[in-house]
Amino acid sequence: MKTVLTIAGFDPSGGAGILADVKTISRFGCYGAAAVTSLTLQNTQGVFGAYHQTPDAVGRQLKAIFDDLDVDAIKIGMLPTPEVVEAVADSISANPPSYIVLDPVIRSTTGFELVDENALQAIIQRLFPLASVVTPNADEAGRISGLSVRDQPEMEQAARKMIALGASSVLVTGGDFEGDFATDLLVDHGLVAFKTRRVQSRQTHGTGCTFSSALACLLAQGYTLRESIPIAKEYLVEAIRTAPGLGRGRGPLNHFPEGSY
């Protein structure tokens, strides 16, 4: 069994962050371990605050994990402060896994800033070079590149800027755009578009977390990035389509949909 570690924020309502990650990791038949970077206060209706962890707390969680488990892949989500980024970068540089999926989380869909501006610069400097793939949505791609990202040509430009900033592969996800299809754009040594049908739904809390965790599992299991992306996208479509309709806001996904992913 492959071991996949998520380094991310905690959402007590279970739709995003570490709980979404570990459900996804379990669904893909991997063993999930987790280090908490921030204890957020949120539910399907919004984010109301966050207790960011100290770099020492994060570093010592990672030490406990790396001292004992062989980690095949890491998914990195919310890193709230530059100090936490440094702790994570130091720890994974000393214990490099085969695959790192970096989801550069910046703010919640409801507009809460989960990460401070200096943290973002540290993520670019310290973690972009370590990541197998960086998976920003359009909003995140825009914030990181300083470009506006409203269509596919702009997604490509932003991805190329992120490659220039040190990433080896960038997948800009297009799920937040309107239209019948959700098209993601991968830029690495080449350029590939991945298209799935769009499911119109309000039940989309934690989609970015879920997708990046699925990618980490598939990479750990030996699929190439180009093979992993369409599988993870199809899983996400089913997870949204069969969402249980919980909560009074943007509900969580069904992390255990039927299907042979």
Contacting residues toward ligand PLP, per CB under 6 A: 8-9, 11, 16-17, 40, 42, 77-78, 105, 108-110, 114, 205-209
Minimum CB separation from ligand PLP for residue 175, in Å?
A: 10
Minimum CB separation from ligand PLP for residue 204, in Å?
A: 6
Q: Which is nearer to ligand PLP, 139 or 151 (CB)?
A: 139
Contact between 71 and 79 under an 8 Å Cβ cutoff? The reply is no
Minimum CB separation from ligand PLP for residue 190, in Å?
A: 27
Minimum CB separation from ligand PLP for residue 152, in Å?
A: 21
Minimum CB separation from ligand PLP for residue 188, in Å?
A: 23
Q: Which is nearer to ligand PLP, 222 or 245 (CB)?
A: 245
Minimum CB separation from ligand PLP for residue 19, in Å?
A: 9
Q: Which is nearer to ligand PLP, 82 or 251 (CB)?
A: 251
Q: Which is nearer to ligand PLP, 45 or 121 (CB)?
A: 45
Three-state SS string across the chain, please?
CCEEEEEEEECCCCCCHHHHHHHHHHHCCCEEEEEEEEEEEEECCEEEEEEECCHHHHHHHHHHHHCCCCCCEEEECCCCCHHHHHHHHHHHHHCCCCEEEECCCCECCCCCECCCHHHHHHHHHHHHHHCCEECCEHHHHHHHHCCCCCCHHHHHHHHHHHHHCCCCCEEEECCCCCCCEEEEEEECCCEEEEEEECCCCCCCECHHHHHHHHHHHHHHCCCCHHHHHHHHHHHHHHHHHCCCCCCCCCCECCCCCCCCC
Q: Which is nearer to ligand PLP, 46 or 230 (CB)?
A: 46
- Residue in the shown chain whose Cβ atom is closest to ligand PLP: 9
Q: Which is nearer to ligand PLP, 59 or 251 (CB)?
A: 251
